[in-house]
Structure 1
Amino acid sequence: MKWMHRISALTLAVLLGACGGAKPAGEPGHEDESQAEAGGHEEEGHEEAMDRTTIAAKVAQDAGIRVAPAAAGVIADEHEVQGLLTPVEGRVAKVMARFPGPIRTLRANVGDRVRAGQPLATIESNLSLTTYTVPAPISGVVLARNASIGTVAGEGAALYEIADLSELWVDLHIFGADAQHITAGVPVLVTRMSDGVTAETTLERVLPGTATASQSTVARATIRNLDGLWRPGSAVKARVTVDHQPVNLVVPLGALQTAGEDDVVYVRRGDTYVTRPVRGGRRDAQRVEIVSGLKAGEQVVVEQSFLVKADIEKSTAEHEH
């Protein structure tokens, strides 16, 4: 968020001021360094003399600036889809009255966890005039209570609905041509919309029919409900990875910034950070392919790159004035 960026940039400015500041190349004390790097700039042909700044290692560390070497990697072919959580078929049970009669007790409410065999209700049979107990047929959570004490339970009437929610189905809705690429067995990352928690799973099957209302193909996976906060009926989003393509050079998306109309990264040389225009290629949710402008092994800022950008822009503005 913009305000977080402003706070982080301000923090960096304070750190830089405390340590003497980040000096643009060309100021006193940098003549040798600037001249030494000039030869490298002539070879590469696309680094501007002022598009750089110097940040002491301790200041960069305190500001959270981290670098990593550019290297070969993979770009995932991913599809972003949405879906709904539903109880697993066969893990939902209705608690039924065996004989009609007045309900004398009810011992569970919606949301209660019950175990198989636990008494949930007593009913006075109209046939024998004796009471009998109605137990829970499975262990799980009470989803619905459909009866009240004193009312008459009809034969076969459902008193409660119980579901085992330790696992849930994720029914993902896939539209158009995407349905031709997504098959069983591929990995899926499901994200809970309420708090961003994720769960990794595998796509189990693509259902043969089409959802009537949305005209989408439904693909199904199963997730474990370890914290109990994955709730049936909730909407989720998911990233389905159908393939991985190896590429010669990738950097994290967080390394990429813009300068004017160019995509750029920041390359560290000692304590100097240099703006490097690059041309990107394929990308996924985490990485971007670098087609030109960068060499394998160069140390690229991969975290807090916006702080380096802000300091270079500040240094350039001060030099121009």
Structure 2
Amino acid sequence: MAMNMHSRVHIPLLLLGALLLGACGKTAPSAAAGEEHAQGHDDHAEEAEGPEAAHADRTVIPAEIAQEAGIRVAPVGPGTIADAHEVQGLLTPVDGRTAQAVARFPGPVRTLRANVGDTVRAGQALATVESNLSLTAYTVSAPIGGVVTARHAQLGGAAAEGAPLFEIADLSTLWVDLHIFGNDTQHITAGVPVTVTRMTDGVSADTTLERILPGTATASQSTVARALLRNADRLWRPGAAVKARIVVATTPAALVVPLAALQNMQGRDVVFVRSGQDRFEARPVELGQRDAAQVAVLSGLRAGEQVVIAQSYVVKADIGKAGAAHEH
């Protein structure tokens, strides 16, 4: 009887344990299924984030941030690649546009009415000299209009007959004498376009090569090519050094981009194409001929696509950050 009572006590406990064990068995698969469902949801979420999440060669830069960073885009289109030569030279007055105001008779200088740097007109009085022959004063006038570049007379000083008192130059146009060396002399001929740039402030002016001088510059042993430069603002000054770009020939290209658009990523030449308002993609390109400003694109782009032409390194850096974040 005692044994039976003991058995009755333990049978319900055994049944309770079996029930609990069964309940635990059902709970474990549910948790696993939940984890699988969560993982599946994460996978779909990653797909829903768009190609930027899966590609390290794209990034998103909001329009206002791109503007603040100086990022500029322009459509790809046709252009020309120039065979250009970079040279240096000097500005000089044009032959026949300089003159001297001289004393006709000997005598002391009584008045001076112009200084170096003054702009004078033809016939304007520059000085008076008292003639030793007649003991009367006569006027020395400017033979041409222009700028006084030198004054040799002193007030009260003696002027000899025929002595130059002033030098005047018409600086409205100047010669640009460009020095060409070596094999470049075989390619550069009269009639080709030239862009001349001031070294002081970077201002440029376009002109045409007029002639190749027959001699050789003694000091530099260079060939001198000469072009005429208009100087309406008088900021081009004789004696100043300049640099110039002489374009010998041009080659048409179906698509060109500025050199500033190019970047190198993982050993490839790329440009950054904008799609929409704020998405930028690194596009590998095959390049052709180039000059000092732009390069021909043989493949990788279509006409009209918007390419970053300024601050492209900013886009490259942002893509680099996005790729590093994606790896982590």
Normalised by the shorter chain, which TM-score bucket? 0.7 to 0.9
Residue in structure 2 matched with residue 131 of structure 1 by the alignment: 137
Residue in structure 1 matched with residue 28 of structure 2 by the alignment: none
Distance 1:293 1:240 in 2: 31
CA RMSD of aligned residues (A): 2.2
> Aligned-pair distance for 1:301?
1.5
Residue in structure 1 matched with residue 8 of structure 2 by the alignment: none
> Aligned-pair distance for 1:292?
3.6
Residue in structure 2 matched with residue 111 of structure 1 by the alignment: 117
User: Deviation digits for residues 125-181 of structure 1, max 9, x if unmatched?
Assistant: 111111111001111111111121111111111111110111111011111111111
Q: Does 1:180 align with 2:186?
A: yes
> Aligned-pair distance for 1:217?
0.9
Gaps (5+ residues) in structure 1? 1-25, 39-48
Distance 2:78 2:44 in 1: 37
Quick one: which of 238, 245, 251 aligns to 2:251?
Answer: 245
User: Deviation digits for residues 241-280 of structure 1, max 9, x if unmatched?
Assistant: 1111012321111211222433221122333211123232
1:154-233 map, 5 Å: 154-233=160-239
- Worse-matched range after superposition: 281-290 or 154-163: 281-290
Where 1:311 maps in the other structure, the secondary structure is helix
User: Deviation digits for residues 20-78 of structure 1, max 9, x if unmatched?
Assistant: xxxxxx9967736329x98xxxxxxxxxx212101234543454433333333210111
Distance 1:235 1:203 in 2: 17
- Worse-matched range after superposition: 78-87 or 290-299: 290-299
Where 1:266 maps in the other structure, the secondary structure is strand
> Aligned-pair distance for 1:208?
1.2
Residue in structure 1 matched with residue 313 of structure 2 by the alignment: 306
Q: Does 1:81 align with 2:87?
A: yes
Distance 1:274 1:136 in 2: 67
Aligned length: 285
Q: Does 1:264 align with 2:274?
A: no
Residue in structure 2 matched with residue 14 of structure 1 by the alignment: none
Q: Does 1:275 align with 2:276?
A: no
Q: Which has the higher helix share?
A: 2
From the superposition, tell whether residues 33 and 103 of structure 1 become closer, same or farther in structure 2 (CA, over 3 Å): same
Identity of aligned residues (%): 67
Where 2:285 maps in the other structure, the secondary structure is strand
Which AA in structure 2 matches 1:74? Answer: T
From the superposition, tell whether residues 132 and 310 of structure 1 become closer, same or farther in structure 2 (CA, over 3 Å): same
TM-score, with normalisation over the residues of structure 1?
0.82
Where 2:123 maps in the other structure, the secondary structure is coil
Which AA in structure 2 matches 1:204? Answer: E
Residue in structure 2 matched with residue 33 of structure 1 by the alignment: 50
Which AA in structure 2 matches 1:316? Answer: G
Distance 2:266 2:88 in 1: 35
Where 1:317 maps in the other structure, the secondary structure is helix
Distance 2:305 2:313 in 1: 19
Equivalent residues of 2:56, 2:320 under 8 A apart: no
Distance 1:28 1:82 in 2: 62
Quick one: which of 146, 151, 176 aligns to 2:152?
Answer: 146
Where 1:220 maps in the other structure, the secondary structure is strand
Distance 1:293 1:301 in 2: 14
From the superposition, tell whether residues 128 and 239 of structure 1 become closer, same or farther in structure 2 (CA, over 3 Å): same
Where 1:90 maps in the other structure, the secondary structure is coil
Quick one: which of 117, 127, 134 aligns to 1:121?
Answer: 127
From the superposition, tell whether residues 158 and 30 of structure 1 become closer, same or farther in structure 2 (CA, over 3 Å): farther
- Worse-matched range after superposition: 179-188 or 131-140: 179-188
Residue in structure 1 matched with residue 294 of structure 2 by the alignment: 287
Which AA in structure 1 matches 2:51? Answer: S
Answer with 1 or 2: which has the greater Rg: 2
Distance 1:133 1:299 in 2: 69
